[in-house]
């Protein structure tokens, strides 16, 4: 294999790696309610009719929770769009940076920093979802909700183990967290 072919293969592999690293951003943009963070999982679960019935969330309380979470979801969708745009810019610039030895990397590094700032905002929104839930439930409802969510999460971990996924946490590790 000659040097030119080897460089081409290396270049393609690097660009593919960069693009693949941002692929999850595009998936989140297409389906914002499937983001893997716990705040979003809990929020989706809390607004389900079944969950609200079990916990006793009704009327104005339910409307307020839904309204507040919808507002956060709108912010999250906009943020996901910004991440997707930045990821696309990063991939375009990466082509040049990786194909030209000695090319300036300042522009791509700024984009990476911007994506990092967007990720920080995503984490804040996830926390805001949890705070909305906390602030809109009574102490009794929070206790019921926590028990239900803990049980559901335990079942999901057990299912992952049965299906060859991640093993559940050991009791000592779970207590330490």
Contact by Cβ (8 Å): 134, 65: no
Residue 174 lies in a domain: no
Mean pLDDT for each 10-residue chunk of the chain (177 residues)? 56 47 43 49 91 95 96 95 96 91 92 96 95 96 94 91 73 51
Question: Which residue reads 């090319």 in tokens?
Answer: 103
Residue 59 lies in a domain: yes
Residue 168 lies in a domain: no
Contact by Cβ (8 Å): 90, 108: yes
Residue 169 lies in a domain: no
Which domain range does residue 58 map to?
3-163
This prediction has a pTM of 0.67
CA distances from 82 to 122, 125, 170 (A): 11, 15, 39
Residue 142 lies in a domain: yes
Three-class SS state of 167: coil
């Amino acid at each position: 294999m000659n040097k030119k072919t080897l460089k081409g293969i290396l270049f393609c592999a690097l660009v593919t790696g960069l693009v693949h690293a941002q692929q999850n951003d595009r998936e989140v943009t297409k389906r914002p309610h499937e983001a893997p963070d716990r705040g979003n999982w809990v929020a989706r679960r809390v607004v389900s009719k079944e969950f609200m019935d079990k916990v006793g969330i009704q009327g104005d309380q339910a409307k307020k929770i839904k309204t507040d979470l919808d507002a956060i979801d709108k912010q999250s969708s906009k943020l996901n769009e910004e991440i997707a745009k930045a990821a696309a810019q990063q991939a375009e610039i990466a082509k040049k940076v990786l194909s030209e030895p000695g090319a300036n990397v300042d522009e791509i590094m700024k984009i990476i920093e911007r994506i990092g700032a967007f990720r920080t905002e995503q984490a804040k929104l996830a926390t805001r979802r949890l705070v909305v839930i906390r602030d809109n439930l009574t102490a009794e409802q929070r206790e019921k909700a926590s028990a239900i969510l803990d049980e559901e999460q335990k079942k999901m971990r057990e299912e992952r183990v049965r299906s060859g996924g991640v093993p559940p946490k050991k009791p000592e590790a779970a207590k330490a967290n």
